Amino acid sequence: MNRGPWIDHFGDNFLWSNATLILKGMAPYGVVSLEEIDRVCEKLRVRQNEPQAWREEWRAMGELVERRADAALAQGHKITAGDYYLRAGIYHYNAERFISPGPEKRAQGEKAYHCWHTGIRLREPTIEFVEVPYEETTLPALFMKASATRPAPTVVVVNGMDNAKEMSIFFAGREFARRGFNTLALDGPGMGETRRIRDMPSRYDYEVPGTAAFDYLAKRPDVDARRIAIFGYSFGGYYSSRIAAFEKRYAACVALSALHWDLADWQEKIRQKNASSPTTVAQSNFQFRWVVGAETAEDGIAIAKKFSLKDVAKNITCPFLVTHGGNDRVVPVENAQKLYDAVGSTNKTIKIFNTEEGGAEHAHVDNRQVGIDFAADWLEDQM
C-alpha cells in the first residue's frame, strides 16, 4: 500500500523519515508544530547528502523557537512561553539524535532538557518532577496525577531507545489521566535524561529499576499500590516485559510494540547495513552500543545477547497486552506473535494494527492516538 509523504517524508531515506515521523506523531499533544516540522524538512530535503545537515537544521529551529519563548516570558506571557519552550525542547532533542557520543551530544541534550523542563513548569505546573530512589542514586521521572481525590491506579511508563519521559508524559500520561490513572514517566538507565545528562547506560535486568519505581509509588498516598501497571513502548516493550517477569507486584503489563526476539542478530544486521546503506535503517551506527555503554559494535552485540525474553517471558503471569504495527519496518511484526506465544499469563491479548486503521508503523508513531487509546482502554478494563 502506498503510504505517501506523511509516512516516508524523505522517500527512501528511512533513517530521516522515521525520525521525522516520531515528531509528527506528537502533534495531537500540542508539543510540536507541523508547520515548523515541514519548514525544517523542506530545508533538509535538498541536504540529504550532508551528514551534519540534520543537526544544523533541527538545532536552528530549536534556537528560533527558544528565542520566541524567551521573548514571550520576558513579556509575562507564561503560557505562550511554555508552548514555545516545549516545542524548542523536542526540536533540540531531535537535533541530538544523530550526533555521535561526546561533548557536542551532551551539550545538545542539555539544551533540550533546559527548554523541556522550563516549558513543563510554565505550561503544565501540575506535573511533578520527582526522583526515584535507585541503588546509590536516583532516577528522574515525571508524575502526572489523575483528578481523583482518592488513591488511584497508576501506570509506570518506560521509554524506547530514542524517546524520553518528556514525550511519554504527554502522549501516554494525558490519556491515562483522562481515564483516572496516575502516570509515572520514568527515564530509567539508558534512557533520555538518565543517559544523556547523568551518563548512566542501560542494563538487561530491568526489573531492578522496575522494582525501584514500584517501591517509590507504593509509598505515595495518591497511589493505589494494588493497581500499578508497567507500560513500555518500542525498546521499552522489552523493558516492561522483563520487569513483569520478575516484579510480580505489578498488576498488568503492556508492551506497546515488541522488541526483536534475537536482539543480537538485529544489531549485527544494523551494523552491516550501516556499512553499506545507512539510510535504510532507523538507527544510527552508534545508538545501541551507546545506550548500553559498549565500547565497540562487537561489544554491543555481545551485550545484546543478554537482552532476551526467550527464557523469561514464561514467568509473566499478570494480565498482558502486546500491540504492534503491521507495517513495522524497525521490528518485524512476527516478533509480537513470538512474545505473545511465550508469555505465561492466561490473560493475554495481542493487537496488530493495519494500515487501514492506522498505527501500522513502529510503536504506532504514524497514529499514536489509536495505539495509546487501545492500550489505555485495555488497562481500564483490567484494573
Listed in order, the ranges of the chain carrying CATH 1.20.1440 are 1-125
Quote the pLDDT of residue 283. 64
Quote the pLDDT of residue 284. 67
Per the CB < 8 A criterion, the answer to whether 378 and 253 are in contact is: no
Quote the pLDDT of residue 140. 98
Listed in order, the ranges of the chain carrying CATH 3.40.50.1820 are 126-261+308-383
Q: In Å, how far are 12, 267, 280, 282 from 276, measured between CA atoms?
A: 14, 14, 9, 14
pLDDT at 165 over 90: yes
Quote the pLDDT of residue 95. 98
Quote the pLDDT of residue 274. 67
| Torsion sign, CA atoms 128, 190, 323, 96 | positive
CATH architecture of 1-125: Up-down Bundle (1.20)
Per-chain mean pLDDT for the chain: 94
Quote the pLDDT of residue 301. 87
Quote the pLDDT of residue 286. 83
pLDDT at 243 over 90: yes
Quote the pLDDT of residue 359. 96
Give CA–CA dist 313/322, Å, rounded. Answer: 12
**pLDDT per residue over 266-308, tens digit each?**
777 777 776 667 666 666 668 889 999 998 888 888 999 999 9
What would the grid cell of residue 43 be?
530545508
- Residue 137 three-state SS: strand
Per-residue pLDDT, averaged over 362-367, amounts to 95
Give CA–CA dist 92/87, Å, rounded. Answer: 9
Cβ count near 137 (within 10 Å)? 11
Give CA–CA dist 321/378, Å, rounded. Answer: 8
Least confident of 44-53, 62-71, 136-145, 285-294: 285-294
Q: Strand pairing partners for 255?
A: 232, 322
Those residues whose C-beta lies under 8 Å from the C-beta of residue 261, and which sit 6 or more positions away, are 308, 309, 310, 335, 338, 339
Give CA–CA dist 330/309, Å, rounded. Answer: 18
**pLDDT per residue over 178-223, tens digit each?**
999 999 999 999 999 999 999 999 999 999 999 999 999 999 999 9
Quote the pLDDT of residue 41. 97
Q: Is 279 exposed, middle or buried (0-12, 13-18, 19+ CB in 10 A)?
A: middle
**pLDDT per residue over 77-111, tens digit each?**
999 999 999 999 999 999 999 999 999 999 999 99
Q: In Å, how far are 68, 75, 85, 151 from 71, measured between CA atoms?
A: 5, 6, 11, 40
Starting from the edge strand earliest in sequence, which strands make up the sheet with 320-325, in order?
128-134, 137-144, 182-186, 152-158, 223-233, 252-256, 320-325, 348-353
Give CA–CA dist 281/300, Å, rounded. Answer: 17
DSSP string, 55-107: HHHHHHHHHHHHHHHHHHHHTT-HHHHHHHHHHHHHHHHHHHTTSPSSHHHHH
Per-residue pLDDT, averaged over 157-186, amounts to 96
DSSP string, 311-323: TTGGG--S-EEEE
Comparing 184 with 263, which gets the higher pLDDT? Answer: 184
Quote the pLDDT of residue 8. 92
Least confident of 151-160, 226-235, 269-278: 269-278
Does domain 126-261+308-383 correspond to CATH entry 3.40.50.720?
A: no
Quote the pLDDT of residue 171. 96
Q: φ, ψ for residue 320 (rounded to 5)?
A: -135, 135
Per-residue pLDDT, averaged over 312-321, amounts to 98
pLDDT at 67 over 80: yes
Quote the pLDDT of residue 129. 98
pLDDT at 1 over 60: no
Give CA–CA dist 112/193, Å, rounded. Answer: 10
Quote the pLDDT of residue 281. 63
Q: Strand pairing partners for 318?
A: none
- Residue 198 three-state SS: coil
